[in-house]
Structure 1
């Protein structure tokens, strides 16, 4: 692998062999019997992306934001979040077409901004992805409760929620079982789990289309007035919250090493998954706030409750089933992303190799998957949804800022590199991605910033005490040239 000129070869803060800012790319792929299987084509990749994007964000989060933050202007909240996400999606797509390796923005940041920046992003996203799996599993409880009540089943109160979420609540058992069930599914192998995910995502899309098609006939335009009862500031604040719902393609990019023709297909899957999801989001938001006055929306089971109150109980039950399946697919996509990220970091020496070891038959990172599934289950069972979701948005927005900055730097530093996709409107689009993301981060609470900073401090300690030395044994040398990266088959 051809080395770039080392800047400050012996300096800790240089890009040479001992520098924390040396630019790294993953090792060449392992022999066939020690690497993940390339079985994912464009339809499967797009479905994984849609599966990660559409879930609790539309089925639960839209109702809560409409009722408490934005009113009918929740539609604007999704559009603002979608615009910010699209700018970042183009940046991700360019990197995915150039560095088709597992690890997502961890890999991209390490390749362009340096090893320590890649570590910070990877450490950040391990927490974010696991918290997302817990959060969306908790979000399923409202629809599960609605569905069970509709068939006359009353579960024991102790298993209906985390402590402090209701009288007699001790644990959210359903959310815990979802996390563990998804971990089990992922460990069946990529081909099997991807087939199940595609089927469930197709069902989910059909349910959202049902919501839009049937719901539009029940929309009362009077319910859309006032459109922004909390002011336009409420719509912007809502955008910072619903951003949780529009970045699933980030998890998709962690599956690059399980994709056929990753350099060509990954960028397409990212853009297609976001485009499909945003069209469905817009239609669903109009239906939800048009069927029910915003202050009467049920934040736990918004769509099912709206259709039930409109005299369509059978449709409400179907929607509840679709919501549950939808949340399962989100959990699938992000738990898959977290385990592949951990695999990439372990392979590169930043984490112990034991965690990223592949199953000898199914060739998936089974240890990381089970550990993350258990951690997500504990979070889902014992934490209220607000606490589980607090760190999600700030971490992903932070990753977006770095990825958008990195793709701009690399386009001008190395315009000669082969790219399967080129971010349009350079440098305006990625700069807008940076500004949009930073702007949305400014609306998040100070407590969220403090917790995020604390997690990053712990991560830097892990890097200093283990990762710095270990990764130099696994990937020795200084900064490398991305043009030497082998073409992904």
Structure 2
């Protein structure tokens, strides 16, 4: 009797995909880092977001082209292996994406703690971080249906909160010089290329998420056509919101005050709309930030489970809970790592470490498209000229040159650990060749 292997159902159409992408991109980055970025860039913080948007858009075009060529849930690791044929490089890229998700989760937890302590000062930040991490682990352990419901609810509130800030702050726009980059760190207001790229490395974290859309490609209707459109629309909508938020924030509150705030956007709405209960917006911010952590936790647990199932990580991580049907051991391992990162790192260092890891992966993806355009006869429905991935590669490398020693050490340590893990686990060439990350 013939048996059929279960496959993922294709049910995601264009606009649900766009909502997924926008919900993944928006979140902890803008709620937590607009203050840090203002401390570095002053009123010119929007320029840093614009550079980050350029880098994300160019790389997004490369991802869109690659997704139309190879519509499978292989992500950066699969593309890297196909372009360069290196098992080790593909393995490192695959786990680097997972690591970026972990640092993103840790950053979200610290942002959450900052907003929560502003709302309930009796609780210490370590206690808040532990409470959030445990709550997310429980939701994801309960099941994917519960997780999706939670995500949909949080994403809707998250987007509405940002749009509300923009609407309330419009009357303040035009009140400051938006090219004034004067800060404590930059007293002469120098808007040089190194300063600009340094700010962009930090704000680039806000755009993290669009690359995750490839992971649902096997559930997308007509992925060769839908994925490129959905990806580009998600980046465009998120970019518009981010640029608007950054301009509104420095229009309402001086950059120095934003930099010192633990809950910058709550302070912005407190001045722009004093009639609006600050407690309500604090809750909106908490919801938005927790959604970022939730999405990354889901992605991370599935990556660990999938890689373990394929022999790329220790087998015990591939166990499924008999009742909840979730990868409970992978969820538990991620919880431990998440707590270690969130309780030990500064928010900006963690965010920039995430940016460094992803900029390395994005550089390889852009280079991979250049290579594949020359050597692979496969053509997708969305092709881009070679200068697009070339420009994306140059921008990513330029931003990497401005990374500080702290985040380079964190990112380098993570990559070194991945390299050691490769030689410890010794995955087979066949397992790496069919990586489904």
Matched, 1:246 2:207: yes
Aligned 8 A contact 1:251 1:336 in 2: no
| Larger of the two Rg values belongs to structure | 1
Q: Distance in 2 between matches of 1:104 and 1:357?
A: 23
Q: CA deviation at 1:136?
A: 1.0
Q: Which of the residues 432, 436, 446 maps onto 2:395?
A: 436
Name the structure 2 match of 1:5.
Answer: none
Q: CA deviation at 1:332?
A: 1.9
Q: CA deviation at 1:247?
A: 2.3
Q: Which of the residues 226, 247, 266 maps onto 1:304?
A: 266
Q: CA RMSD in A?
A: 2.7
Name the structure 2 match of 1:334.
Answer: 296
Name the structure 1 match of 2:382.
Answer: 422
Q: Distance in 2 between matches of 1:467 and 1:102?
A: 23
Name the structure 2 match of 1:54.
Answer: 26
Correspondences of 1:21-420 after superposition (within 5 Å): 31-32=5-6, 40-66=12-38, 68-114=39-85, 115-148=87-120, 154-156=121-123, 160-161=124-125, 172-219=126-173, 221-224=174-177, 227-229=180-182, 230-233=189-192, 234-297=195-258, 298-310=260-272, 312=274, 314=276, 316-359=278-321, 364-415=326-377, 417-419=378-380
Q: Which of the residues 464, 472, 478 maps onto 2:423?
A: 464
Q: CA deviation at 1:113?
A: 1.8
Q: Distance in 1 between matches of 2:355 and 2:24?
A: 15
TM-score where L is the length of structure 2: 0.87
Aligned 8 A contact 2:225 2:382 in 1: no
Q: Return closer, same or farther for 1:248/1:413 CA change in 2, 3 Å cut-off.
A: same
Q: Return closer, same or farther for 1:46/1:96 CA change in 2, 3 Å cut-off.
A: same
Q: CA deviation at 1:147?
A: 2.9
Q: Secondary structure at the match of 2:191?
A: helix
Q: Return closer, same or farther for 1:253/1:332 CA change in 2, 3 Å cut-off.
A: farther
Q: Return closer, same or farther for 1:344/1:100 CA change in 2, 3 Å cut-off.
A: farther
Q: Distance in 2 between matches of 1:291 and 1:258?
A: 43
Aligned 8 A contact 2:33 2:348 in 1: no
Q: Return closer, same or farther for 1:388/1:83 CA change in 2, 3 Å cut-off.
A: closer
Q: CA deviation at 1:258?
A: 4.5
Which structure dedicates a bigger proportion of its chain to helix?
Answer: 2
Residues matched between the structures, number: 423
Aligned 8 A contact 1:69 1:235 in 2: no
Q: Secondary structure at the match of 1:194?
A: helix
Q: Return closer, same or farther for 1:225/1:204 CA change in 2, 3 Å cut-off.
A: closer
Q: Distance in 2 between matches of 1:217 and 1:122?
A: 46
Which blocks of at least 5 consecutive residues in structure 2 are unaligned? 183-188
What does the per-residue CA deviation read over 1:348-386, in whole Å, with 9 as the maximum and x for residues that have no partner?
Answer: 322133323455676554432332133213322344324
Which blocks of at least 5 consecutive residues in structure 1 are unaligned? 1-29, 149-153, 162-171
TM-score where L is the length of structure 1: 0.79
